Structure 1
């Protein structure tokens, strides 16, 4: 705030109040009252011998600005002694920016806090104040209360704009939804929205992350989701909702009118992995015990020392810090692909484990020798290491598919069918398998990768290991029809001829009876659709690494009808990863 003028200073009355002030800041300030009734708080900190700061603030009870100002003097609650060398000492007469410039700088600060998910309390940090003072001493850093007001104001400003954008640019939208329980056992629901605009750009908006009261029944979840959809005025635009396979969430979405439920493909793949790994329980338990050994700080440091002693075993630079060394990764049941990543890292450090056993057993310290004996006892056998490597070869393609389908910067729905087909072909049993299928109970797993299995829209809750996915798009249905027609070209030609005759007769009859432009246009549109589909299906498929949205943007004029369908269905995520990432940000706070 700008300093008051000299005339205002002469017209001030010193306040003598017997009211006890509890805050620790008041010994460093005095208060006066202006003739207009404003309470002015003045800093009494000495910035030089006999020279006080005299920074003036209008206060209404809050001490946030006063605390932030004392930080510039190096004064905190735990350190009440002012530092002698401060920014204010060197430049006691710095004039703050005009209010317009202050607002601009505050907005940049808030943008950084929000976009980088920084805690708001950082503005109260002494060293942050010093840093900002070095950059621009004329900027008054806002307190937490003001930052919250700016964020709330920005939210109220942005919501109507987002609603208008959804109304004008989204043909249909797809939602992803997930429930999350915080450390204090409170439930939260997160919903994100994705759509493709007229420029074929994939857009994603976080609609809500809010508290949801217990019980988390399907009815309660459905009511909460409907209220969020109503708030964003998306009642007629929601095409589908992607969630995990939890029964209550699936039931909640399935009970919503005109909205399709789609299971998270990544979650389903992890169910397949979890069920398929049951015959390997003993091996997994031994690998996990070995990993847990190296997750202990003591043994982790011992592993670092071995890597530094034998740098030739890998590209380890012994002069670098421990961040450049190889450490074990924990296997977490709630994290997708965590077993694959943990075992991959375990295989990487295998040479060092063997060296570490000998290194510990030969140590002079008896306690360290005990560690060596323990590590020797839990060390995997060579056959077990071979099995781990084989498991990694099995899980590798699933990890790749899960990572690919979990992307949010590109369309994933169009990749789903082709990736699942690729996994089916890769894992289909054959006569060269080392273990015959009759020795393992993999009935449901064999069905999962059966080429004759059709994709269905819903997941089967009774058999979690089944992948039952259906693309559920007109383009896919047209593609299946196209394949069927190709098998019997003669019948196709006859059907097409009959269809054309019917259309011609119908058109002539309508023209003879009454001129109805709308009906004729609709018939013309049907023929245009058929021609457009035929031309589209005759084109070669683009590669998986190509951006399908770029392709549709380039061909939207040639395929105007199908391009609109692409904007509807390509916006559907293959997984619920986007909303899971949003909920994960709650951990920071």
Structure 2
């Protein structure tokens, strides 16, 4: 009797509920859909709930397809009812299989100032040219019934192809601040390219399994009882902030790296001593370690700013000007000891001014006539208060004890 109850399949409601939970698990953890056909997975699932009928691949795909179409309709309705205008972002990325994709997100504020963000679509791109980008964008906009007149801005990176596409769409293009920071910093870090290359080579050596274990051991020698030795971080060339993280890790692991080098140098086996020579050739000198410390001081504010501006749970455009002012202020008062660090600082500051400087000065050559008119008309005052204030100031001097002041002396005062 009990065995019959245990082996009886779930009700239709419970079966659907559990199947939906399985689909959520597959999506959330990026599991392959074909996991439902794996014998070990099926045995494991059956051991947890023998009454659950594990769905086939086609059932999983059907649920995903139906849920997707339902969500699209909900998003279309949401945008229609809660937005007057929307702002978009899009970016192009390439998968490990070298396929190109365009991802588009949509952002808007409701009349109660609730901020919404939705991922509209991920479109496959044949080519990275402006024509293909425009076709993909228009395809997505048509799918979600978003008219061009409803789009206020499109935020993109600084690539000429995406800028050209947005220009042809006749929509205001906002340049990605994070990408602009990345361009500025990467360009100016070329001044310390040799040191950065040395750090990358050191990271490559210490990232190997054997050296990684030896580095863990060196950390434990320096700090007995250390629960979790720090792993070396691997540099990612596409993101400047990973260069910062790499430098920070090297500085944090500096004692352990030197300890490992000394241990290998004093080893009795000649081959191991050769390994020490390899590591030693990439360990920064005392002066270079000091330079790395100062580079961290220079780059850290950019990392904080990039992280802050990369979030989408609040409006970020309003923060650009005060953030740039604060960065410029910090850089002006940076007092480094290393000439190279000071040079990097000055180049980054110049780059900030070049990219985000006052447009009145930035474009004065391009709009020379407007520059003349602006200097003529923008100085006109609508109040005579400045003169009245002058009389008040003059009155402070022309008191009883100064009542014999000459006009010339009063002017001089």
Are 1:107 and 2:20 an aligned pair?
yes
- Structure-2 residue corresponding to 1:411: 315
| 1:400 paired residue among 293, 298, 304 | 304
* Contact 2:6–2:51, Cα closer than 8 Å, also in 1: no
Are 1:220 and 2:132 an aligned pair?
yes
Instruction: Calculate the TM-score normalised by the size of structure 1.
Output: 0.57
- Structure-1 residue corresponding to 2:390: none
Change (3 A) 1:221 1:452: closer
Change (3 A) 1:273 1:451: closer
CA distance in 2, matches of 1:326, 1:442: 33
CA distance in 2, matches of 1:265, 1:440: 20
* Deviations 1:78-107, CA, capped at 9 Å, x for gaps: xxxxxxxxxxxx879611012232112212
CA distance in 2, matches of 1:325, 1:437: 30
- Structure-2 residue corresponding to 1:275: 187
Change (3 A) 1:250 1:452: closer
Question: Displacement of 1:488 after TM fit?
Answer: 5.7
- Structure-1 residue corresponding to 2:366: none
CA distance in 1, matches of 2:120, 2:385: 47
Question: Displacement of 1:411 after TM fit?
Answer: 2.3
* Contact 2:123–2:136, Cα closer than 8 Å, also in 1: no
- Structure-2 residue corresponding to 1:289: 201
Are 1:367 and 2:260 an aligned pair?
no
Greater CA deviation, 126-135 or 272-281?
126-135
Question: Displacement of 1:403 after TM fit?
Answer: 0.7
- Structure-1 residue corresponding to 2:81: 168
Q: How does 1:158-237 map to 2 (within 5 A)?
A: 158-214=71-127, 216-235=128-147, 236-237=149-150
Are 1:148 and 2:61 an aligned pair?
yes
Question: Displacement of 1:156 after TM fit?
Answer: 1.6
Question: Displacement of 1:376 after TM fit?
Answer: 2.1
* Contact 1:425–1:449, Cα closer than 8 Å, also in 2: no
CA distance in 2, matches of 1:218, 1:139: 50
Per chain length, whose mean CA-contact separation is higher, i.e. which structure has more relative contact order (CA < 8 Å, sep 6+)? Answer: 1
* Deviations 1:256-279, CA, capped at 9 Å, x for gaps: 13x211111000001110111122
SS of equivalent residue, structure 1 residue 203: strand
Change (3 A) 1:114 1:443: closer
| 1:341 paired residue among 238, 245, 266 | 245
* Contact 2:294–2:341, Cα closer than 8 Å, also in 1: no
CA distance in 2, matches of 1:134, 1:455: 68
- Structure-1 residue corresponding to 2:396: none
- Structure-2 residue corresponding to 1:453: 357
Are 1:133 and 2:50 an aligned pair?
no
Instruction: Calculate the TM-score normalised by the size of structure 2.
Output: 0.80
Question: Displacement of 1:177 after TM fit?
Answer: 0.6
- Structure-2 residue corresponding to 1:311: 223
Count of matched residue positions in the alignment of Structure 1 and Structure 2: 368
SS of equivalent residue, structure 1 residue 118: coil
CA distance in 2, matches of 1:289, 1:237: 50
CA distance in 1, matches of 2:355, 2:156: 26
* Contact 1:290–1:378, Cα closer than 8 Å, also in 2: yes
- Structure-2 residue corresponding to 1:384: 288
Question: Displacement of 1:165 after TM fit?
Answer: 0.6
Question: Displacement of 1:429 after TM fit?
Answer: 6.8
* Contact 1:196–1:203, Cα closer than 8 Å, also in 2: yes
More helix per residue: 1 or 2?
Answer: 2
* Contact 1:424–1:450, Cα closer than 8 Å, also in 2: no
CA distance in 2, matches of 1:410, 1:99: 43
Question: Displacement of 1:441 after TM fit?
Answer: 11
SS of equivalent residue, structure 1 residue 340: helix
* Contact 1:177–1:241, Cα closer than 8 Å, also in 2: yes
SS of equivalent residue, structure 2 residue 155: strand
* Deviations 1:479-515, CA, capped at 9 Å, x for gaps: xxxxx99x9672699xxxxxxxxxxxxxxxxxxxxxx
Unaligned 5+ segments in structure 2 are 364-377, 387-413
* Deviations 1:411-447, CA, capped at 9 Å, x for gaps: 2222222212211221237898864999889678526
Unaligned 5+ segments in structure 1 are 1-89, 318-323, 460-483, 494-589
* Contact 1:427–1:449, Cα closer than 8 Å, also in 2: no
* Contact 1:170–1:196, Cα closer than 8 Å, also in 2: yes
* Deviations 1:209-255, CA, capped at 9 Å, x for gaps: 121113x2212211221121122111132111111111011100011
CA distance in 1, matches of 2:64, 2:342: 62
CA distance in 2, matches of 1:101, 1:407: 38
Question: Displacement of 1:299 after TM fit?
Answer: 1.2
CA distance in 1, matches of 2:140, 2:355: 41
The structure whose Rg is larger is 1
* Deviations 1:515-563, CA, capped at 9 Å, x for gaps: xxxxxxxxxxxxxxxxxxxxxxxxxxxxxxxxxxxxxxxxxxxxxxxxx
